[in-house]
Structure 1
Amino acid sequence: MDRNNEEEVIRNYQKGEKMMILLFAQWCINHDLDPVDIYQQAYPYQAKNTELIDALELTVSKKESDHIDSETLLDVLSMYGNDDLAFVVSEYIK
């Protein structure tokens, strides 16, 4: 793979990761949950997630949002390796 292709793959992954964070944040808003609190439960020893804070600025109110399927969120979290976060989210789904 040449350098340009590698950079394109990295950019696409980063875009997808940002969408995953926004999806998580909006799902939390839709369920009257605090995304920062949920994230801290999953990763208690990590510093604040600045990408999550940035994503919160892009969320809309519960009334304005489309439905986000919980299983879809869990799939996306797992796809990006956020298994601890997926576990915490699944506890809230129950």
Structure 2
Amino acid sequence: MNSKEMEQQIIENYQRDERMMILIFAQWCINHGLDPAELYVRAYPQQSGNTELQQALELTVPKEEAGDIPDDTLLGVLSMFGNEDLAFIVTEEISRRNQSTGSPDSAE
């Protein structure tokens, strides 16, 4: 594999992983009764109408059919991709949820 092919493979792997991160975020939101697009716009107001997010929403399943996505898993994935602003908004929602349920931590 030459360097150009290797570079292309790295880009494709990153894009695939980024799509998976977006899907994890979207499904986590659905699982918690939150609107992924609304949270995303709160984090990135200049990026409304994110195409990747819209595509991920088409792949989400109803909460009843979805597996659990722990808060820490989502926060770790967001951090891995440098989505600190979105992680901040998610952390706010986790705190809000924990205050309403009386749960002391973010683990599910």
The runs of at least 4 consecutive aligned structure 1 residues that moved more than 3 Å come to none
Aligned pairs, number: 94
Q: Which has the higher helix share?
A: 2
Percent identical across equivalent pairs?
59
> Alignment RMSD, CA only?
0.9
- Structure with greater Cα Rg: 2
| Post-superposition CA distance 1:42-85 (Å, at most 9, x none) | 01122310110011000000000000011110010011111100
Structure 1 unaligned residues grouped into runs of 5+:
none
CA distance in 2, matches of 1:3, 1:46: 31
Cα distance in structure 1, aligned partners of 2:3 and 2:42: 40
Q: TM-score, normalised by structure 1?
A: 0.97
- Provide the residue aligned with 1:63 in structure 2: 64
Taking CA–CA contacts closer than 8 Å with sequence separation of 6 or more, which of the two structures ends up with the larger relative contact order? 1
Secondary structure (helix, strand or coil) at the match of 1:3 reads helix
C-alpha distance in structure 2 between counterparts of 1:45 and 1:18, whole Å: 20
Identify the residue that residue 29 of structure 1 maps to in structure 2: 30
Quote the residue 1:14 is aligned against: 15
TM-score of the superposed pair, with normalisation by structure 2:
0.84
The DSSP-based 3-state class of the residue aligned with 1:66 is coil
The separation in 2 between residues aligned to 1:86 and 1:13, in whole angstroms, is: 19
Which ranges in structure 2 are unaligned for 5 or more consecutive residues? 96-108
